């Protein structure tokens, strides 16, 4: 019996991908621009309404293609206006996407994986295990859905790849999605307004240097290898010396690039005055900004957030040394939409959730 071929999801293509797709059909490259504008700017998903395409091409697209974004499983708005969507993929897994409205800007936090294959101990997402990478359509689909729901009232001005997953472990799909975010005929965002956050996949940082010009945020969270090995285990593979060298290379290759080091504040773990001074020594030769993040608790976590006074003392030490420092304002905490709280629904293929349960049971015994 002949199998029925799945329709091609045009959300899976950036401009170059669409050019290649239409070239295979014998169509001119400008068809890619037309589709980008219809889909990403006008929000049109019905091919029959794309009036500047030939009737024969519209008929072909209707028969062989689709424009399919993730489905909304849950929609919640926090007391501070932060909005969180639980989006369901075709396979049944779910990821979370968060919109943070602020004065003069609106930031969308986008996921790149179902779960996360890394095991950062202070992150709720990391405790859920890992299922798979998201496709380009599933990544850009989060922006597509959010823009449709927010409408003209709330504009998305900034994108941060800081949702569920490690973006650099889904390199090709994430880069293609970011290309769409910055394409003038799609979402037209400035490269300064698109930020990728990584736990420190060193080879991929070098690769990103050549592939895509966006701002970089690095989840640092410790001033030395010993502590970072505990908090961010990927550090055992890519220690601080290698990571910081890759960061220097990323900035030097394009002087106007921005790099931010993220540092979650954990009471009694990484928030002492000596930790602050060690962080100063670590970053003193890198042009960067440090973003201090109050820890957001989640069920099963053994960590506590540093007090407000402790965060300010830590900030002051960094500031007096000449570092540019900000303290992230916690948003969406009452709907579990704050940094490190995103969970989704993950069919864990890594078996991490099972291992965590066994470890906790052993300690309880």
From first to last of its 365 residues, the chain has per-residue pLDDT tens of 344 588 999 999 999 999 999 999 999 999 999 999 999 999 999 999 999 999 999 999 999 999 999 999 999 998 888 999 999 988 888 899 999 999 889 999 999 999 888 888 888 777 778 888 999 999 999 999 999 999 878 899 999 999 999 999 999 999 999 999 999 999 999 999 999 999 999 999 999 999 999 999 999 999 999 999 999 999 999 999 999 999 999 999 887 788 999 999 999 999 999 999 999 999 988 999 999 999 988 777 789 999 999 999 999 999 999 999 999 877 555 555 444 444 544 455 555 455 444 434 443 44
Task: For residue 3, count other CB atoms closer than 10 A to its CB.
Answer: 5
**Does 148 lie in the same domain as 280?**
yes
For residue 363, tell me if it sits in a domain: no
What is the CATH number for 57?
A: 1.10.150.530
In Å, how far are 161, 179, 184, 247, 313 from 258, measured between CA atoms?
15, 18, 21, 10, 25
Give me the catalytic one of 96, 138, 166, 262. 96
Within-domain flag for 170? yes
Answer yes or no: do 38 and 117 share one domain.
no
Instruction: Report the pLDDT value the prediction gives residue 360, as an integer from 0 to 100.
Output: 40
Kindly report each contact of residues 23-26 with a partner whose C-beta sits within 8 Å and lies 24 or more positions away, as own/partner.
25/57, 25/60
Q: Do the domain assignments include residue 344?
A: yes
**Is residue 325 in a domain?**
yes
Helix residue ranges per DSSP H, 127-170: 136-150
Q: How many helices (H) and strands (E) does the chain have?
A: 11, 14
Residue 3 lies in a domain: no
pLDDT for 90: 83
Residue ranges making up the domain that contains 46: 8-66
Is 169 part of any domain?
Answer: yes
Distance CA 181, CA 195 (A): 11
Residues 250 and 127 in one domain: yes
Q: H or E stretch including 85?
A: strand 83-88
Catalytic residue among 120, 288, 305, 339: 339
Does 120 participate in catalysis according to the annotation? Answer: no
Tell me whether residue 1 is in a domain: no
pLDDT digits (tens, 9 = 90+) for 16-59: 999 999 999 999 999 999 999 999 999 999 999 999 999 999 99
Instruction: Please say if 96 is a catalytic residue.
Output: yes
Listed residues 66, 81, 107: the one ending a domain? 66
pLDDT in tens, 112-133: 999 888 888 888 777 778 888 9
Q: Which long-range contacts (CB under 8 A, 24 or more apart) does 15-22 make?
A: 15/179, 15/180, 15/183, 15/185, 15/186, 16/179, 17/136, 17/176
Cα 340 to Cα 5, 34, 284: the distances in Å are 39, 38, 27
Residue 364 is assigned to a structural domain of this protein: no
Q: Can you give the pTM of this predicted structure?
A: 0.89
How many domains does the chain contain in total? 2
Reduce the DSSP state of residue 103 to 3 states and report it: coil
């Amino acid at each position: 019996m002949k199998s029925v071929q799945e329709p091609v999801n045009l959300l899976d293509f950036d401009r170059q991908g669409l050019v290649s797709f239409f070239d295979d059909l014998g169509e001119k490259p400008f068809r890619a621009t037309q589709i980008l504008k219809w889909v990403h700017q006008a929000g049109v998903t019905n091919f029959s309404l794309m009036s500047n395409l030939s009737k024969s091409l519209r008929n072909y697209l209707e028969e062989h293609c689709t424009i399919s974004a993730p489905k909304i499983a849950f929609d919640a708005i926090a007391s501070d206006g932060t909005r969180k969507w639980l989006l369901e993929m075709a396979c049944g897994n779910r990821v979370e996407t968060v919109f943070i409205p602020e004065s003069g800007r609106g930031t969308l936090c986008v996921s790149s994986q179902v779960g996360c294959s890394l095991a950062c101990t202070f992150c709720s997402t990391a405790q859920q295990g890992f299922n798979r990478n998201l496709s380009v359509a599933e990544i850009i689909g989060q922006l597509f859905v959010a823009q449709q729901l927010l409408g003209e009232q709330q504009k998305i001005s900034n994108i941060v790849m800081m949702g569920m997953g490690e973006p650099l472990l889904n390199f090709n799909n994430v880069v293609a999605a970011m290309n769409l975010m910055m394409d003038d005929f799609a979402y037209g965002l400035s490269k300064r307004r698109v930020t990728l956050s990584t736990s420190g996949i060193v080879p991929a940082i070098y690769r990103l240097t050549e592939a895509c010009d966006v701002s970089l945020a690095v989840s640092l969270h410790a001033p030395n290898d010993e502590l970072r090995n505990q908090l961010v285990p990927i550090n055992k593979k890519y220690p601080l010396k290698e990571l910081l060298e890759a960061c220097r290379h990323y900035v030097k290759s394009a002087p106007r690039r921005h790099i931010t080091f993220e540092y979650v504040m954990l009471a009694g773990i990484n928030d002492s005055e000596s930790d602050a001074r060690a962080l100063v020594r670590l970053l003193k030769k890198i042009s960067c900004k440090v973003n201090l993040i109050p820890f957001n608790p989640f069920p099963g976590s053994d960590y506590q957030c540093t007090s407000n006074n402790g965060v300010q003392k830590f900030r002051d030490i960094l500031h007096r040394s000449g570092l540019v420092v900000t303290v992230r304002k916690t948003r969406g905490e009452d709907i579990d939409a704050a940094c490190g709280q995103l969970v989704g629904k993950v069919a864990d293929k890594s078996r991490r959730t099972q291992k965590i349960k066994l470890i906790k049971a052993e300690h309880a015994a």
